[in-house]
Amino acid sequence: MSPIVFDDIHFMFRPYDPWLAYGQSKTASIFFAVGATARWFKDGITANALMPGAIATNLQRHTGSLRTPPERQKTIAQGAATSVLLATSLLLKGVGGRYFEDCNEATLVTNGNGYMSGVAPYALNPDNADRLWNESLRLLA
């Protein structure tokens, strides 16, 4: 949904926008999967990111006017399926730094598709993943 604006990660120089912040957080989770896999693959450690989907829970009561249409909502079991797959499938042994949704690797999208599915190439960029990793280390110091 949004690349990370490295020059203003904390919205200090632009109006805060919850959707942009959410989009940046999703991109950040993908960057951390890319970064962790790059750093620890030789030790047998991989990481992937995923989108569970809009789960039919009470969480959306905290999202203001944002509501997922009922036909696009998932049950808790459906929402957990991709997480369980990534955590347990031997088919994914040695696979890391990728983004999954609906129990599949997400397709690349280059200009959005209006449905918040797929993954933009910028979210898988290893240089940007390194940049966020280093910025995170700086913020933790």
- What is the bridge-based pairing of β-strands 99-101 and 104-105? antiparallel
* Higher per-residue pLDDT: 25 or 115: 25
- What are the distances in angstroms from CA 138 to CA 26, 58, 110? 20, 36, 31
- Give the active site residues: 22
- pLDDT for res 59: 64
pLDDT above 60: residue 65: no
What pLDDT is stored for residue 23 in this prediction? Answer: 86
Phi, psi of 116 (to 5 degrees): 55, 40
Cα within 13 Å of Cα(98), Cβ side: 15
Task: List, for residues 70-118, the tens digit of each pLDDT value.
Answer: 777 888 899 899 999 999 999 999 999 999 999 999 999 988 766 578 9
What's the mean pLDDT when you consider all of the chain?
Answer: 89
Contact 78, 68 (CB under 8 A): no
SS3 sequence of 3-69:
CCCHHHCCCCCCCCCHHHHHHHHHHHHHHHHHHHHHHHHHHCCCCCEEECCCECCHHHHHCCCCCCC
Across the range 123-138, mean pLDDT stands at: 96
